[in-house]
Structure 1
Amino acid sequence: MGNPIINFIVNNLISIHSGPAYSKAFSALKLAAVPAVGLSISERFTGWYVESFVFIWMLGFALVADLIVGIWKHLLNETFSPKKMLWGFGQKLGLIILVYFLTEAFIQIISDADLDSVYFKVATKLMIFIYPAGNALVNVGIITKGKFPPLGFLKKFEKFNNTLDVNVFKQKEDENKNTNNNPSE
């Protein structure tokens, strides 16, 4: 029996060494093609990971922060349940992975059609990130009894969730004026 990978390699090497010409050619092709497919897949995955590296880490941190703050909130409210925590976290993680995969597919399709996908890419990444991060911020607001973060900040997330308009995060003209918090002289 043995290892199927070793058997594959050994059988094809024997065929290359002592088989007829067509068998040698086919075995050489198999030995070259199998690693090439694996390298091609790993190269695509590595390229995607390098391109999305920062976002993936931020998303992972947001998930962990959401979990920690959620546990904290439920401990304070005396409603903590390990079973519900595991189910909720697993559900949130699964949905984020699913939606991230689907939106990446949409972005790939849009970019293949030579359409401008920057807005869609930003909107979908914000949407995915806001799911755990927004929930964590709302829970922080519950823990601090509304003192932090400011309600206006949370309303921007709510408005984005309703409209998918990334412009809600832009600073308005009056916010640019007198940002040093000193009265005008």
Structure 2
Amino acid sequence: MGNPIITFIVRNLISIHSGPVYSKMFSSLKLAAVSAVGLSLSERFSEWYLESQLFIVLLTGALFFDLGFGIAKHLKLHTFSFKKMLTGFMTKLGVVIAGYFLTEAFIQILSDADLDSVYFKVATKLMLFIYPAGNTFVNIGILSNGKFPSEGFMKRFDKFNKTFDVMVFKQKEDESKNTDNNPSE
């Protein structure tokens, strides 16, 4: 039976080489259309990947840091289970992939509607990143016996998760006044 793609190409090439004129034209059109669709999809995917490359790398890094620090935490607490680790990581990976696809779809729909989607784009990417990164920080806090990260830092993550307001990460006015790290006189 063979590969259907190879069979399709071979049949159309044979038709172009030895078939009647209408068959040659139709086979040429079919081969051109299939390659055009493939090239168009490849171009769209490449464009999306190049635009999102840094975020994808950061999100992947957050997932693996979450995995590593999660394993370390459970080893410290003597609660490690390979099955739970694998199940948890695959679940989190699936959630992140589905979430990323859906947020990209929302962003695309909003951009097609000429709506200002910058806030939504930042908020959804931040929400998506915080899922593994927030768990990583919690695990680091357990491993460092609460010394890092600070409680204020974790409260900002928690507040964002509750309100979806990216302004919780904005530097406050009084924090920016004294930037030389010297006390005011």
TM-score by length of 1: 0.96
Question: How far apart are residue 168 of structure 1 and its match?
Answer: 0.6
SS of 1:171's equivalent in the other structure is coil
Distance 2:124 2:179 in 1: 31
Distance 1:93 1:6 in 2: 35
Distance 2:58 2:150 in 1: 22
Structure 1 equivalent of residue 80 of structure 2: 80
Structure 2 equivalent of residue 36 of structure 1: 36
Deviation sequence 1:108-140 (CA, Å, 0-9, x none):
111111000000000000000000001100110
Structure 2 equivalent of residue 89 of structure 1: 89
Range with bigger deviation, 89-98 or 8-17? 8-17
TM-score by length of 2: 0.96
Q: Percent identity?
A: 73
Unaligned stretches of 5+ residues in structure 1: none
Asked if 1:174 corresponds to 2:174, the answer is yes
SS of 1:78's equivalent in the other structure is coil
Across the aligned residues of Structure 1 and Structure 2, the Cα RMSD in angstroms comes to 1.1
Unaligned stretches of 5+ residues in structure 2: none
Structure 1 equivalent of residue 159 of structure 2: 159
Range with bigger deviation, 131-140 or 172-181? 172-181
Distance 1:5 1:83 in 2: 40
- Counterpart code for 2:19: G
Distance 1:152 1:164 in 2: 17
Distance 1:39 1:154 in 2: 45
Distance 1:38 1:26 in 2: 18
Structure 2 equivalent of residue 107 of structure 1: 107
1:1-185 alignment runs, 5 A limit: 1-185=1-185
SS of 2:105's equivalent in the other structure is helix
